[in-house]
Amino acid sequence: MPQAGLEIDNVSKRYGDVVALSDMTFEVRPGELFGFVGSNGAGKTTTMRIALGVLAADSGEVRWAGEPITLSTRRRFGYMPEERGLYPKMKVLDQLVYLARLHGLSVNEAHRSAEDWIARLGLKARREDEVQKLSLGNQQRVQLAAALIHDPSVLVLDEPFSGLDPVAVDVMSQVLKEKTAAGIPVVFSSHQLDLVQRLCDRVGIVDKGRMVACGTVDELRAGAPADLIVHAPQAPPGWAAGIPGVSVVSEEDGRTVLRAGDDVDDQAVLKAALATGPVHEFSRRRPALTELFRNVVTEEGVR
Ligand SMILES: Nc1ncnc2c1ncn2[C@@H]1O[C@H](COP(=O)(O)OP(=O)(O)OP(=O)(O)O)[C@@H](O)[C@H]1O
Ligand SMILES: [Mg+2]
C-alpha cells in the first residue's frame, strides 16, 4: 500500500453562525503538489490553519503518514501563513537563524540552513536588512525560507505566489517541485489558476467550505463538456442555433465556440458547418481550469 500523506478527513468548523468548513476531505499524497483553489471566503485558510493546529476543528481529523497529528509531528511541517509571521524589525539572517533554532537546529546548522536559503532565494544582498525594509515580494521570499528552514517533511503554503514577480514565481515553483521530487506532500492555495493548472499534480476546488471537485486537471476536464471550435468564415450568424444538444458560447468573425456534451455527434455539427461554406478549423477544446472553476463555483459562493 502506498504511504499515506497529509489527510484532511471530514473536518468541520463554524465561527458562530458562519459555517467555514463542512466535512472538508482530501489527501495530499507523498511527493504530490496539490493546488487548493476557491473563491474568497471558501475555507482554504481555515483548512490550512486546522492542518497546522493553529486552529482547532469542531470535528474531523487531520492525519499525517496515517497517524493523527501531534505536537512533535507538527514540528515537521513547514507553514507559510496567510497573515505572514515575520518580525518586522529583525534582520533577515537573524530572523531565519532564530526560526531554525526554534525548530531545534543547532547554532551551526541554523546558520548553514539560513545562508543556504538566503542564497537560493536570491536574498544575499538583503541578509543584513530589517524585514520591514524589504519589498513585499522579498518579504515573501524570506517567508518561504522560514517555511523551509528546518527541512520540513510536509509543506502547507497559504497563497505563496501572491505578489511575486515572474522570476520569484519561477524560483518558488522550482523549490516546490524539488520538495515534491524528494517525496514531500506539498499543498498551496492560490487564485492564480493558470499557475495551478501548469504546476500541480492534483487540484482541489473548494466552495462554501466543501471540496466540490478534486483530481488531476485532466480528470476534472474529462468530466466537463468540451467546447467545439468552428471556423467557417461564410457561416451566417446563428447558424448553429438549431443543432440539438449544442449551445453557442461565442460567435465572432466566422469563428464560433460551441458547448457540446460528449453525447453530441460532432460530425453532425461539422456537416451543419460545411453546409454554410468552407470550414477552416474544426476542433475540440477541453476547458481550462479557470472555466472549470467558474462552472463549479457559483457567484453565491463568494462570502
Ligand atoms: N476569525 C474568524 N471569525 C469569524 N469568521 C471567520 C474567521 N476566519 C474566517 N472566517 C470565515 O470563515 C470563512 C472561510 O474563510 P477563509 O479565510 O478560510 O477563506 P479563504 O478560502 O482562505 O478565502 P481567501 O481566498 O479570501 O483567503 C469565511 O466565511 C470567513 O469570513
Ligand atoms: Mg485565505
pLDDT digits (tens, 9 = 90+) for 197-229: 999 999 999 999 999 999 998 898 887 778 899
- The pLDDT score that the predictor gives to residue 83 is 84
Q: Cα separation of 149 and 59, whole Å?
A: 32
Break the chain into its structural domains and give their ranges.
6-221, 225-285
Which letter does DSSP use for residue 133 in this model? G
Ligand 1 close to Cβ of residue 38 (< 6 A): yes
d(CA 190, CA 37): 6
Nearest-ligand number for the alpha carbon of 190: 1
* Residue 291 bridge partners (DSSP): none
Question: What's 2's DSSP letter?
Answer: P
Query: What residue ranges of the chain have pLDDT lower than 70?
Result: 1-2, 298-303
How high is the pLDDT of residue 285? 86
Domain 225-285, CATH: 3.30.70.920
Instruction: Decide: 30 in ligand 1 pocket, CB within 6 A.
Output: no
Residue with CA nearest ligand 1 atom 25: 40
Burial of 174 (0-12, 13-18, 19+ CB in 10 A): exposed
- Give the separation between CA 19 and CA 302, rounded to whole angstroms: 13
Residue 20 CB less than 6 A away from ligand 1:
yes
Q: Considering every ligand atom, which ligand is closest to the CA of 51?
A: 1
Q: Burial-class residue 206 by CB neighbours within 10 Å (0-12, 13-18, 19+).
A: buried
Coil/strand/helix, residue 256: strand
Ligand at shortest distance from the CA of 37: 1
DSSP state of 280: S
The C-alpha cell at 222 is 474529462
pTM for the model: 0.86
Coil/strand/helix, residue 25: strand
What is the rounded distance in angstroms from the CA atom of residue 187 to the CA atom of residue 229? 35
Question: For position 294, what pLDDT does the model report?
Answer: 83
Rg (CA), the chain: 24
Which CATH superfamily does the domain covering 6-221 fall into?
P-loop containing nucleotide triphosphate hydrolases (3.40.50.300)
**How high does pLDDT run on average in the chain?**
91
How many angstroms separate the alpha carbon of residue 42 from the centre of ligand 1?
7
40 lines ligand 1 (CB under 6 A): yes
Question: CA 159 to CA 38: how far, in whole Å?
Answer: 12
Judge if the beta carbon of residue 15 lies within 6 A of ligand 1: yes
